Amino acid sequence: MKIKVNVDSNLRIKNVFEPPLEVELRDNENTLKDVLGKLAVKYPYLRFIEKGEMGDDLHHLYLNGENHFSFSEGLKRKVSEGDTVRVEAYMDPLAGG
């Protein structure tokens, strides 16, 4: 059974990363870590996940309004059909030369 998770973010990059969007997870994918992994594949220039942990570009991660730090299982927290994951991402400004 596939599930769809809604992703929202404070970060928007016109014509590149424009939440809200939907992520579809496969049968064996059902955690916050899996959602971040899907985002990392689709948007490789943003560090959503690194070495199995929340990536440097993310400052906060919420599941249905609850901060993931409040979950004892952290990124292994299960997601369900229709859940909303909010990623708060911050990118360093690009320097010109």
Cβ–Cβ under 8 Å, residues 9 and 85 = no
* Structure confidence at residue 96 (pLDDT): 53
Average pLDDT over residues 86-94: 78
Each residue's pLDDT tens digit, 53-66: 999 989 899 999 99
Each residue's pLDDT tens digit, 1-49: 578 899 999 888 888 889 999 999 998 999 999 999 999 999 998 899 9
**Is residue 91 scored above 80 in pLDDT?**
no
Q: Which of 55-59, 77-81, 82-86, 93-97 has the lowest mean pLDDT?
A: 93-97
- What's the CA gap between 92 and 68, in Å, rounded? 23
> Sign of the C-alpha dihedral, residues 40, 41, 42, 45?
positive
Instruction: Parse the chain into domains and list their residue ranges.
Output: 3-89
Q: Which residue has the tokens 């014509």?
A: 15
- The amino acid that residue 17 corresponds to is F
Q: Supply the DSSP string of 39-50, one letter for each residue.
A: HHHHSTTS-SEE
CATH of domain 3-89: 3.10.20.30
* Structure confidence at residue 13 (pLDDT): 87
